[in-house]
Structure 1
């Protein structure tokens, strides 16, 4: 099996891990502040990565360190915004709206590279907007949770583009560890104003540890390695399974029920994701490669 195929399978595993966190986080946030939870989660992940390979960060070049810091800041802010949004919407809706990064990734890559956006991309944007409306709109206004989650999707798209351009098999671990440290700092700054609180029980600690080590440290290492073998748009296709996993876990374990709006809106969003990725893939992937040079 070739490296790209292994990388796609690896990203599917990452998507499953991320998807499993939505309903767990939703429950945990009833007892913990957003920034406190994220700071603790990524602090545990950072410590784990540093213990496993202490010199990984120091081996990075100055350029890679700068890139790692930029990626970490972007991802950290995205996590804060997304998790705050999750406080105001359901886990299944949050999963689908977060998945809009798959639409934003090629669009932002095209804007950054001054590449003309094709008609299929615009069709996908309209389709995704309609799907998002069916899925998330409350009357004539979009809720706070959906807006925050949509903003985080844009930040995740920037992270995917940067990671695809800057990661290599040789710097994957160090870049992951540095990102984790920076994400921890960003989230800790967010936690400072209200003070810092720890989980109250063993069950909450287990949730945090799982999301720190499996859906945090391990997932980021795998994503960084996989994106060294894939272009951002191909990686984004694999990660479209995240909202599917999120909704599945939310229904199976999170006491959420399947609704017609969820199915129809989710289907439209997923259709837009695949349309924007598959239709213009060759042209956009060719352009995105220039970022790594």
Structure 2
């Protein structure tokens, strides 16, 4: 039991590093897509990531099967459609609204995990998810939520990212991690290629400068290869519900890095929202641990 809890805490810590990696690159990506169309940027990001991951995974090709291709392709589709619907949503509503609704996957994940795989979330994970959702509201929302097309696209985006978290937890216990990640990258690169050609008319960036090159390098190494490999490798040791709660730290780290390095201003409500998100994560992380410790000390089955 102690060994299992140690693995779970270790996995949760590494997933926290993933959320920080995503958040730390947010303002870099934002600056890059101000000059480069979104699908063009995603295409080059995931193409380079797929090539590098392919080289890393070369010795794992002996484990390549039809099933692992289907699993990796499905995860890649969830990831791509999450990015796609998020992009569509941003064209119809405020980025703060999109950020909040996307973050609501923290509430959606436990329900999908139960409906698809009959995995029940602990009461502490559900409570932590609700507190983190309130924190997301104060952290990301600067305008009123409507019920227009943009909000609908953002909700679909939240479902796609929730599906990605839930199915990653399932497939990571069944298939080779390296191949799952590599196939995901290939799938997202292919989808972004179609999006770039049909929606943006080209796959060539308008300008190749140091900002674009540095953005591609940083996002490929930290926010793509490192982040998705770690998520796929360690999520098997924790739950999908806790993973979603930990990932709400992404906008928190994005705000902190923006404050430190991009001279962005954090309001009092945003700081309060960040504290609520941290509280929700701690409740989900420590609640089960103290409950099990109490039961063990009092010999409660």
TM-score by length of 2: 0.76
Distance in 2 (alpha carbons) for counterparts of 1:43 and 1:136? 33
Distance in 2 (alpha carbons) for counterparts of 1:262 and 1:144? 26
Establish whether residue 153 from structure 1 lines up as the match of residue 145 from structure 2: no
Partner of 2:13: 9
SS at match of 1:228: helix
What does the per-residue CA deviation read over 1:126-160, in whole Å, with 9 as the maximum and x for residues that have no partner? 76666555542624637877665444232111111
Q: Which moved more, 1:240-249 or 1:142-151?
A: 142-151
Are the counterparts in 2 of residues 65 and 175 from structure 1 also a CA contact under 8 Å? yes
1:186-197 alignment runs, 5 A limit: 186-193=191-198, 194=200, 195-197=202-204
Partner of 1:245: 253
Are the counterparts in 1 of residues 132 and 245 from structure 2 also a CA contact under 8 Å? no
**Rg larger in structure:** 2
Higher helix share: 2
1:139-288 alignment runs, 5 A limit: 139=144, 141=146, 148-168=153-173, 171-193=176-198, 194=200, 195-198=202-205, 199-267=207-275
Q: How far does residue 236 in structure 1 lie from its aligned partner after superposition?
A: 3.0
1:121-140 alignment runs, 5 A limit: 134=138, 135-136=140-141, 138-139=143-144
Partner of 2:39: 35
Establish whether residue 68 from structure 1 lines up as the match of residue 58 from structure 2: no
Summarize the Cα distance change of 1:35–1:96 in structure 2 as closer, same or farther, 3 Å threshold: same
Q: How far does residue 70 in structure 1 lie from its aligned partner after superposition?
A: 0.6
Partner of 1:291: none
Distance in 2 (alpha carbons) for counterparts of 1:69 and 1:220? 14
TM-score by length of 1: 0.78
Distance in 2 (alpha carbons) for counterparts of 1:117 and 1:273? 14
Q: Which runs of 5+ in 1 are unaligned?
A: 282-293
Q: Which runs of 5+ in 2 are unaligned?
A: 290-301
Q: Which moved more, 1:183-192 or 1:225-234?
A: 225-234
